A and B are shown apart, each in its own frame.
Chain A
Amino acid sequence: MGSFMIRRILYAIPALIAVSLISFLVIAIPPGDYVTRLAEMSAAAGDVMPIAEQEALRKAYGLDLPVMVQYWNWISGVVLRGDFGFSFSFNLPVKDVIWPRLGLTIVLSVASLLFIWVVAIPIGIYSAVRRYSAGDYLATFLGFLGLAVPNFLLALAAMYIAFAWFGVNVGGLFSPEYVEAPWSWGRFVDLLGHLWLPMIVLGTAGTASVIRVIRANLLDELHKPYVTAARAKGKGEFALLMKYPVRHALNPFVSGQNDIFVDIVSGGTIVAIVMGLQTTGPLLLDALRTQDMYMASSFILMLSVLVVIGTLLSDLLLAWLDPRIRYQQG
């Protein structure tokens, strides 16, 4: 197991290097840079930015260096000093912009994830065990509805209902008085009060698909010989269900959860814009539009790292759940 873990972690390193290079190049190689964008903006404002000034700016930002040198400067800063570069549009170091947002994003993501699991796994198990019952059809129907309705639409509807019927102001993650306030008990309670709605909105589609996955996996397991064998021992139905088929059905489910972080971090962008959430999604979109290159690269890098980490975690979790992997690849 130890050897498996170490090997698995080492495998992640080349993947991370490749990913960081690609996320930088994707932003740096296309023609135009932040200075071009600034020049366009002045032009739009009726002003002309002299070529010399543009060149000076490029020099100041280091944009005149060869791409690989720029990459090296950036990535060595990231790895050695935790310095993700400078955000041109915020005029702040990237890390000062990203981290607070990332914290909130993670809180929201984890909340949605828990919501999905708590709701979907029991429903999935119920749907499989009582296949073709009224409850199964209802869960299936709601599940498809959840998959089919776009998130942002659900967000709009939920906000409207919450505001119009219950008089709750649900935009954003904080009430206006707490947005810029430092952390306090009151701010935390305020966050909880705002968190539930985006959590449900973001979780709905995930819930639907998890119900389907659990149901399908479990249906495969419910009539396996080892279930008959356990029943023949005299084990009660519920204890048997939990110990054998459910446990077996979780394995393929876990291995399918590797990209769940990314789904939630980037997939929630439109919802975050609609609901005015101070998460990373809207920030990424802005960074891409304004060619704020270190900001954008850092974001893409982080998302990619999340994919790699998610895969790593789901692999390790799978090894923990399944002795066949633990003992045969160790």
Chain B
Amino acid sequence: MENLVEIRDLRITFAGAIDVVPGLDLNIPAGKTLCLVGESGCGKSVTAKAILQVIDHPGRVSGGSINLRRPDGSVLDIAKEKPTSSVMRQVRGGDIAMIHQEPMSFLSPLYTIGNQISEALMLHRQVSETEARAEGIKMLEEVGMPDPARRYDSYTFQLSGGQRQRAMIAMALINKPRLLIADEPTTALDVTTQANILDLLGELQRETGMVVLFITHDLGVVAEIADEVAVMYLGRIVERAPVKELLENPKHPYTKGLLASMPRLDGDFKAPLKAIPGMVPPPALRPAGCSFHPRCEWARKDMCGHVAVLDTDLGQGHMVACHAYGPQAHKFDRVSRVSEVVSPVQGRARAAGKPLLSIKNLHKHFPIRAGFFHRQVGAVRAVNDISLDVFPGETLGLVGESGCGKSTLGQTLVGLHRADSGAVQFDNVDVRAARGENAKKLRTDIRMVFQDPTGSLNPRMRVRDIIGEVLQVNGNHSRAEIEDKVQDLLARVGLSPDYAERYPHAFSGGQRQRIAIARALASDPKLVIADEAVSALDVSVQTQIINMMKALQAEMGLTYIFVSHDLGVIANISDRVAVMYAGRIVELGETDQIFRNPRHPYTEALLAAIPGRGARKSGPRIRLTGHVPDTSAPLQGCAFADRCPYALEACRRIQPTLKGAAGHLDACIRSDELRMQPVAPKHTTVPA
């Protein structure tokens, strides 16, 4: 058998009644990386947990088989074993290991990472503490942990996100498992760190021949790492194919939808994205027939809604579960509609005229206190001498790794932080000096949308009060006026007007973000600062929100500052892009200029890190090691010099300034002599 694991008719039931996975067939082939793709709520993680028998109460495996080939050639049906049996304990961590999305919560902060890594070893092999320690340090070294002997005794909170993920990989791999299950291991990481971790997993897979089951919602990551891909929707595999075939020649409308909703970096960045309508229903409300039919544009009333779908083998390992390819295929014309969203970007006024927001030499430093008396010993220069103009009606994208100061800049503009020095002029008002009426006007004119739609909405307030609060607080609006406004806004963001009575917990993540946007728009602002506003959302929902924000911009003449670490999203929504590094802007230009003709090495490295762009390309890849430098250290020369492949001795001496012509500025002293690689121009993962 070339399959390491064969899952047949697996049924996973929650709370005794609801089938989250209603009968899944999946083979995990030996020696390969299989990607499991789908939106959240499709049952990917719970399937992975079923293979390890670690599903949380009240879920359980209620039927089917999970046949694992053991090293001695015997076959073990995991589904028949008791989760607490000693065989299962050997399998867990020994034959099969798992890494997770959030190393911060999957590693205990109370024990050192070394303790948790060697624990995994000692559970499966008879080794002494000293040997375990030596092995653990060796493993940390293999997964690329800098200074492994010292890090071995570190706690999770002393490590960066990438280092934590490396620690968790070391913990999983220390027993040399034959199957590694990786559940969204890079989703919470910066794009540059993600690239490094994906490289590492790819290398380890090739070296050891270990099987990897990689769970992700990001098709770019799939292109980067998969040999085969299985697309999952509501607990079923709807399409399965080798990676190239699946990405270039997708069959199932769900796969096509996922691909179409992904921001593209070939062709026209700003081509409107096509979202899959609706969202994944909860398993209890699984539609009859083909579960995808309510969201499917091909669906035929006469069959999709009630006839169960069978798998169709298209040859060459390509399987699809869709009526349009089954015995009744002739009834479907299989034509995809083009997105109806008209791109509002076309014909918009270019950056010209008088800026709406003008920032001059803005500084925001956070004091660092240390020592016995908590004296200030330094400052984190989160925003360090930033000058920037934002013009009416445009979208300015703000990108950079976490810790580069992009969120602090946004928060300082909206007044959440008090700037230390510099000038901010908004629509003829000096923001830093504004008091009284002017301050009130600023609070209604500049509004913010936050990343986490759960945390940013007060759970004890009704939607009406959440949206209308800004009107109650600022200015005198009658109850009826506010009510009208709330109704109007709910309609604008695509929510039913009667939702005004409800509380935030009644909504999905995407709907909550719509409410958050409605709240931001309630006071008819001129400028909206969106801080990672779509980062926490699933791809298809993310696309819905992006399209909606674009449409609202066209309708209401809004100006956006869009903060994100996702370059695809930035390319799609922005007119101009500012790349930030260590509290400074290192490159600023129109979207096309930044992506097609980057001038700063940092921009080049960010572009190279976008997953799926450099996939399986021969030749050296540009990878950033390390992370954004500690902005508290006194800095001389270019902050990026330590990570820059082009750095000269001069770079460490001369502080580069932002310079350039035709609205394309960069802060690199070598930008005139270097030619940077743009984002891969033709080969991309996403065919039309």
Chain A interface residues toward B at CB < 8 A: 3, 6-7, 223-226, 228-237, 243-244, 247-248, 321-324, 327-328
Closest-by-CB residue of A relative to B53 is A231
Chain B positions 512 through 544: 1 when the CB is less than 8 Å from some CB of chain A, otherwise 0: 000000000000000000000000000000000
Bound complex: CA A225 to CA B89 (Å): 18
Residues on the A chain within 8 Å of B89, using CB: 234-236
A234 touches B123 (CB 8 A): yes
A234 touches B92 (CB 8 A): yes
- B90 at interface (Cβ–Cβ under 8 A)? yes
Q: A234-B124, A324-B155, A328-B157 are in contact. Are A229 and B90 (CB under 8 A)?
A: no
Whether A327 pairs with B100 at a CB distance below 8 angstroms is no
A233 touches B171 (CB 8 A): yes
**Which 4 A-B residue pairings sit nearest by Cβ, starting from the closest?**
A234-B93, A233-B93, A234-B92, A229-B106
C-alpha spacing A235/B52, complex, angstroms: 12
State whether the Cβ of B110 lies closer than 8 Å to any Cβ in chain A.
yes
Closest-by-CB residue of B relative to A245 is B108
**Residue ranges of B at the interface with A (Cβ–Cβ < 8 Å):** 49, 52, 54, 56-57, 84, 89-94, 97-98, 100, 102, 105-111, 116, 119-120, 123-124, 155, 157-158, 168, 171, 371-372
Give the dominant DSSP class at A's interface: helix
- Please list 30 pairs of residues, one from A and one from B, whose beta carbons are closer than 8 Å in the complex, sorted by A's number: A7-B372, A223-B56, A223-B57, A226-B105, A228-B100, A230-B119, A231-B92, A232-B54, A232-B92, A232-B97, A233-B119, A233-B120, A233-B123, A233-B171, A234-B89, A234-B93, A234-B120, A235-B89, A235-B123, A236-B89, A243-B111, A247-B110, A248-B108, A248-B110, A321-B110, A324-B109, A324-B155, A327-B155, A327-B158, A328-B157
- Is the beta-carbon distance between A323 and B109 smaller than 8 angstroms? yes
Residue of A nearest to B86 (CB): A236
Q: Is the interface of B mostly helix, strand, loop or mixed?
A: helix
User: When chains A and B are docked, how far (Å) is the Cα of A294 from the Cα of B52?
Assistant: 68
Task: Choose among A3, A226, A228, A247 the residue that contacts B56 (Cβ–Cβ < 8 A).
Answer: A228
Q: Are A228 and B124 in contact, with the CB atoms below 8 A?
A: no
> How far does the alpha carbon of A216 sit from the alpha carbon of B442 in the complex, in Å?
46
B52 touches A232 (CB 8 A): yes
Contacts of B84 in A (CB 8 A): 236-237
CB–CB A324/B92 < 8 A:
no
User: Among A225, A229, A233, which residue has the most Cβ atoms of chain B within 10 A?
Assistant: A233
CA separation between A224 and B168, bound complex, in Å? 16
B106, A226: Cβ atoms under 8 Å?
Answer: yes
Given known A324-B109, A324-B155, contact A225–B102 (CB-CB < 8 A)? yes
A233 x B157 contact (CB < 8 A): no
Q: A228 and B90: CB pair below 8 A? A: no
Shortest distance between the CB of B492 and any CB in chain A (Å): 38
* Residues of chain A contacted by B97 (CB below 8 angstroms): 232-233
Minimal Cβ-Cβ distance residue in B for A3: B372
Task: Output the least CB separation between B61 and chain A (Å).
Answer: 15
* Min CB gap B533→A, angstroms: 26
Flag if B157 contacts A324 (CB, 8 Å): yes
Return chain B residues, CB-CB under 8 Å to A324. Answer: 109-110, 155, 157
C-alpha spacing A224/B371, complex, angstroms: 34
Given contacts A248-B110, A323-B110, A324-B155, contact A232 B105 (CB under 8 A): no
Query: Which B residue's beta carbon lies closest to that of A239?
Result: B123
Q: Is the CB–CB distance between A234 and B108 below 8 Å?
A: no
Contact: A229 with B107, CB < 8 Å?
A: yes
The 8 Å CB contact of B100, one of A229, A237, A322, is A229
Closest chain-A Cβ to B521's Cβ sits at a distance in Å of 36
- Chain B residue with minimal CB distance to A323? B155
CA distance in complex: A123, B37 (Å): 44
In the complex, the answer to whether A228 meets B94 with C-beta atoms within 8 Å is no
Q: Which residues does chain B contribute within 8 Å of A233, judged by CB atoms?
A: 92-93, 97, 119-120, 123, 171
Question: Would you give the shortest CB distance from B328 to chain A, in whole angstroms?
Answer: 43
* Bound Cα distance from A3 to B97, whole angstroms: 41
CA–CA, A244 and B110, complex, Å: 8
List residues of chain A with CB within 8 A of the CB of B120: 233-234
Tell me the complex Cα distance, A278–B123, Å. Answer: 54
Taking the closest CB of chain A, its distance from the CB of B432, in whole angstroms, is 33
- Contact (Cβ within 8 A) B93 A322: no
A234–B94 contact, CB under 8 A?
yes
- Smallest Cβ-Cβ distance to A235: which chain B residue: B123
Residues on the B chain within 8 Å of A3, using CB: 371-372
Q: Are A231 and B155 in contact (CB under 8 A)?
A: no
Q: A327-B155, A327-B157 are in contact. Are A235 and B105 (CB under 8 A)?
A: no
CB distance from B176 to the nearest CB of A (A): 14
Q: Is A234 in contact with B110, judged by CB distance below 8 angstroms?
A: no
Distance between B123 CB and nearest chain A CB, rounded to angstroms:
5
- Seed contacts A228-B106, A229-B98, A230-B108; 16 additional CB < 8 Å A-B pairs: A224-B105, A225-B106, A228-B56, A229-B106, A231-B52, A233-B92, A233-B119, A233-B171, A234-B91, A234-B94, A235-B93, A236-B84, A237-B84, A322-B109, A322-B110, A324-B109
Which residue of A is nearest B108, CB measured?
A: A226
Q: How far is the CA of A247 from the CA of B372 in the complex (A)?
A: 30
A243 to B52, CA, bound (A): 21
Residues of A near B158 (CB, < 8 A) are 327
Cα distance A232–B52 in the bound complex, in angstroms: 7
Closest A residue, CB atoms, query B373:
A7
CA distance A324 to B158 in the complex (A): 9
A226 CB to closest chain B CB, in angstroms? 5
Give A237's nearest chain B residue, CB to CB: B84
CB distance from B265 to the nearest CB of A (A): 33
A321, B92: Cα distance in complex, Å: 29
Whole-angstrom CA separation of A110 from B495 in the bound complex: 61
Return the contact of A244 from the options B92, B93, B108, B372 (Cβ within 8 A): B108
CB neighbours of B171 from chain A (8 A): 233
Bound CA span A156–B210, Å: 70
Q: Which residues of A contact B111 (CB under 8 A)?
A: 243
Which residues of the partner chain B approach A226 to less than 8 Å between Cβ atoms? 105-108
Report chain B residues within 8 Å CB of A228: 49, 54, 56, 100, 106
Give, as a whole number of angstroms, the nearest-CB distance from A220 to chain B.
Answer: 13
Identity of the chain B residue whose Cβ is nearest the Cβ of A328 in the assembled complex: B157
Residue of A nearest to B95 (CB): A234
Smallest beta-carbon distance A236→chain B, Å:
6
Give the CA-CA distance A228 to B45 in the complex, in Å.
12
A63–B84 alpha-carbon span in the complex (Å): 74
Which residue of chain B lies nearest to A221 when distances are taken between CB atoms in the complex?
B108
Once A7-B372, A237-B84, A324-B155 are accepted as A-B contacts, the answer to whether A232 and B93 lie under 8 Å apart by CB is: yes
Report the minimal beta-carbon distance from A217 to chain B, rounded to whole angstroms: 14
| Alpha-carbon gap, A7 to B123, bound state (A) | 41
A223 and B55 CA atoms in complex are apart in Å by 10
- Residues on the A chain within 8 Å of B105, using CB: 224-226
Smallest distance from the beta carbon of B155 to chain A beta carbons, Å?
A: 5
Q: Which residues of A contact B107 (CB under 8 A)?
A: 226, 229
Q: Is the CB of A232 within 8 A of B57?
A: no
- For the complex, give the distance between the alpha carbons of A321 and B84 in Å: 29
> Complex: how many Å from CA A324 to CA B90?
32
Distance in angstroms from B590 CB to nearest chain A CB is 43
Cα A235 to Cα B171 in complex, Å, equals 13
- Chain B residue numbers with a CB within 8 Å of A237 are 84
Q: A226 CA to B57 CA in the complex, in Å?
A: 15
Q: Which chain A residues lie closer than 8 Å to B57 at the CB level?
A: 223
Q: How far apart are the CA atoms of A247 and B109 in the complex, in Å?
A: 11
Tell me, in angstroms, the Cα distance from A228 to B59 when the chains sit together: 13
Q: How far is the CA of A224 from the CA of B108 in the complex (A)?
A: 10
B100 in contact with A225 (CB, 8 Å): yes
Name the CB-closest residue of B to A231: B54
